[in-house]
Amino acid sequence: MNFFEGNKMTAGYGNGPDIISSCSIKVNKGEIVAILGPNGAGKSTVMKTMLGLLNLKSGSVSINGEDISNLTPQDRVKKGISFVPQSRNVFAELTVRENLEIGAFLREDDVGKVIEEIYELFPILKDKSSQIVGELSGGQRQQVALGRALMIRPSVLMLDEPTAGVSPIVMDELFQHILKVKKTNVAIIMVEQNAKQALSISDRGYVLVTGENKFEGSGKELLKDPEVRRSFLGG
């Protein structure tokens, strides 16, 4: 049994056509799973469906063996699922610490202790704790977004294009931070355009084409697969 699983999911927007069809994504604790594919392949739709932002037409979503297909997004968060969207993922007018405190909205214990844990994972956030987030660099803002998502101590972390719009150096840095989060035994699902780099840090990956599972395997297997290399990795 997988810890967090979308099984044979079919979904779309409103009464429109299906965007994903019989698509399955599975991740275990302490594992990074990358979802890859061309634009329009349904990568973000998969994530929205697993979060409950889109209704399933068929299939199921479960966490730790419990079917959560009919739960609201808010109730899925209470089950330990945290999400970092690609954009608008921080409150730019607030300080770093205020952003982290907002991330702790479900916590009833000592928020300060959890913030210190986040500072250990992302030391730059401690240095910048009283700085307005809008003044930070793109990479630092992404660390704030990651830290805020981790404030509920989630068991599942979903990342939508975490390295979008940052330089290659910052991208490598962010991937190193994601690896640090993995070591805390969180299950991580990541939609990412930088396919080679994403697969290099991922335990497993799924390549979607027109909303369906086209390839899946370990990160190393997909990096070596000639068809995946030719079609999605530029050679």
Q: Rounded to an integer, what distance in angstroms lies between the CA atom of residue 4 and that of residue 198? A: 20
In this prediction the pTM is 0.93
Q: Rounded mean pLDDT of 140-150? A: 93
**For residue 208, pLDDT beyond 70:** yes
DSSP label at residue 176: H
CATH match of 4-80+154-232 with 3.40.50.300 = yes
Q: Would you state the pLDDT for residue 68?
A: 98
Other beta carbons within 10 angstroms of residue 128's beta carbon come to 20
Residue 235 reports pLDDT greater than 60: no
pLDDT of residue 41: 92
pLDDT at 39: 87
pLDDT of 63 reads 98
Spell out the domain ranges in the chain: 4-80+154-232, 90-153
List pLDDT tens digits, range 95-128: 999 999 988 876 667 788 889 999 999 999 999 9
* Phi/psi at 160 (5° precision): -105, 105
> What is the per-residue pLDDT for 231?
83
154 has a pLDDT exceeding 90? yes
Give per-residue pLDDT as tens, 51-85.
Answer: 999 999 999 999 999 999 999 999 999 999 999 98
Distance between CA 54 and CA 73 in Å, rounded? 9
Cβ contacts of residue 224 below 8 Å, gap of 6+?
Answer: none
Average pLDDT over residues 133-157: 93
